[in-house]
Structure 1
Amino acid sequence: MPDILTLPLSLLSYPQIDPVIFSIGPLSIRWYGLGYVAGILFGWWYSRRLVQTPRLWAQGQAPLSPVDLDDLVVWAAIGIVAGGRIGYILFYDLQRYLAHPLDMLALWEGGMSFHGGMLGTTLAMILFARSRGIPVWSLFDVVAAGVPPALGLVRVANFINAELWGRPTDAPIGMIFPTDPLQVPRHPSQLYEAALEG
């Protein structure tokens, strides 16, 4: 518990938002998962608009068709989830998963890594581009336009989960996150990232 005399004069209160939106029996819908789904759908919608706008492309022709883009969404979603999970296992909790390998499949327990998701998606896009004869850098250009809002949504979900908080601060914008073992005021870095990425 922080010493009341060392706290800043004004702190933002951490809003106690339930990470679970609703549950039906054993199935729970979480803000984090909704952030991923909404981000993927927004990226798909926005990228589709880009490829259907001829004036944006040299000779009026996008590097891929809307049908290619529809297929890419499936590849990218697999890359995000598989890469994010593998990254989490390797970077954050390898010993646990070596001791209990079946826990690797327990996605409902949480455990995704941004770095792994990015690497998984990048690999999926490279493989997809090669399989369709699409220039990889052109594909990256199309996808990159829709990514920032998706990242912003996931960062808001990180805030709701009270994870990825920032450095300690004595600034009035600091807040004490319930998951912080030190229980000191910290920057809400997830919200900074959501605003600057999205």
Structure 2
Amino acid sequence: MALQFPQIDPIIFSIGPLSVRWYGVMYLIGFLFAMWMANRQAEKPNSGWSKEQVSDLLFYSMLGVILGGRIGYVLFYQFSYFVENPVYLLRIDQGGMSFHGGALGVIAAIVIFALRTKKSILSVGDFVVPLVPVGLMAGRIGNFINGELWGRTTDVPWAFVFPTGGPLPRHPSQLYEAFFEGLVLFIMLVWFAKKPRPAGSIAGLFLFGYGVFRFGIEYFREPDAHIGLYAGMISQGQILSLPMVLAGAALIAWAYRAKPILNHSEK
């Protein structure tokens, strides 16, 4: 007996040609939470951050998410189609965003912001990463509401029959990702950041934690139909997550070796 997917209209309401969608609202929730948490961190004594800097950083990061997410999706998942139809890169109305591309976009935003404000790139990264998981959780819930990015077929009691996934029950892998890449990772980062840490170690934990969680959950997520599994074993998402695991572990190790004086933030 599989659970039937709840019939949730992805459109909350429409006014003329404009529609408000659950997925867009989830993005907004993630951004508003990031703004609230960033300002809360900036208000702490000796934080080294002003509200103006927080506003600029969030603006750069949002651009990084949108541009990087779209470019990453096209290059990582639709490259052959893009080669034949370059204008597809601009067709955001057709959907398609990549977390790994968005992560690269945010890294670029962090570097640009740090150079412009003369802040440490690593300490800016440490400031940013705890803001991310709640947005990831909201986004994956949005994927679930849309009935997309479902998991592989299974007979577990909590499996769902998704309208676009055929008649067989499937893992609700979107909810697995929301829980581990969102809630669990957020708790890990907040707990870790409670004490002063070497610059770069919090960002390293995010890269490592997300990469490990995503790599594991990919075993429950249906591979992209046009890509499948490489060598019948590993998905595109796992290939893109492995560098995150390695980079995160290396950054944590380097931070503790290179920064014996613990530093939560740098002015």
**Common fold by TM > 0.5:** yes
In 2, are the aligned partners of 1:43 and 1:147 still within 8 Å (CA)?
Answer: yes
- Say if 1:194 and 1:28 are closer, same or farther in 2 by CA, change over 3 A: same
Where does the alignment leave 5 or more consecutive residues of structure 1 unmatched?
Answer: 1-9, 55-60
Q: Which has the higher contact order (CA 8 A, sep 6+)?
A: 1
Q: Which residue of 1 aligns with 2:137?
A: 152
1:60-96 per-residue CA deviation (whole Å, 9 max, x = no partner) reads x224322101011110110000001001111122233
The CA deviation at 1:145 is 1.8
Choose which of 112, 128, 131 in structure 1 pairs with 2:113: 128
SS in 2 for 1:23: strand
Q: Which residue of 2 aligns with 1:28?
A: 19
- Cα distance between partner residues in 2 of 1:103 and 1:25: 27
> Which region of structure 1 is more displaced relative to structure 2, 88-97 or 121-130?
88-97
The CA deviation at 1:24 is 2.6
Choose which of 172, 175, 180 in structure 2 pairs with 1:191: 175
In 2, are the aligned partners of 1:32 and 1:154 still within 8 Å (CA)?
Answer: yes
Summarize the alignment of residues 57-68 of structure 1 with structure 2, pairs less than 5 Å apart: 61-68=46-53
Q: Which amino acid aligns with 2:13?
A: F
In 2, are the aligned partners of 1:159 and 1:165 still within 8 Å (CA)?
Answer: yes
SS in 2 for 1:40: helix
In 2, are the aligned partners of 1:88 and 1:113 still within 8 Å (CA)?
Answer: yes
1:112-143 per-residue CA deviation (whole Å, 9 max, x = no partner) reads 11111111111111111111111122112222
Over aligned residue pairs, what C-alpha RMSD do you find?
1.6
The CA deviation at 1:157 is 0.3
In 2, are the aligned partners of 1:76 and 1:124 still within 8 Å (CA)?
Answer: yes
SS in 1 for 2:160: coil
Q: Which residue of 2 aligns with 1:12?
A: 3
SS in 2 for 1:42: helix
Q: Is it true that 1:78 corresponds to 2:63 in the alignment?
A: yes
- Cα distance between partner residues in 1 of 2:41 and 2:91: 36
Q: Is it true that 1:87 corresponds to 2:72 in the alignment?
A: yes
- Say if 1:103 and 1:41 are closer, same or farther in 2 by CA, change over 3 A: same
- Cα distance between partner residues in 1 of 2:77 and 2:57: 29
- Cα distance between partner residues in 2 of 1:36 and 1:25: 22
Q: Identity of paired residues, percent?
A: 47
Q: Which amino acid aligns with 1:115?
A: H
Q: Is it true that 1:110 corresponds to 2:101 in the alignment?
A: no
- Cα distance between partner residues in 1 of 2:84 and 2:142: 29
1:22-70 per-residue CA deviation (whole Å, 9 max, x = no partner) reads 223332222222211221121111111011112xxxxxx2243221010
Q: Which residue of 1 aligns with 2:148?
A: 163
Q: Which residue of 2 aligns with 1:175?
A: 160
- Say if 1:135 and 1:91 are closer, same or farther in 2 by CA, change over 3 A: same
- Cα distance between partner residues in 2 of 1:125 and 1:25: 38
Q: Which amino acid aligns with 1:191?
A: L
Q: Which amino acid aligns with 2:98?
A: S
Q: Which amino acid aligns with 1:18?
A: D
TM-score for both structures, normalised by structure 2: 0.64
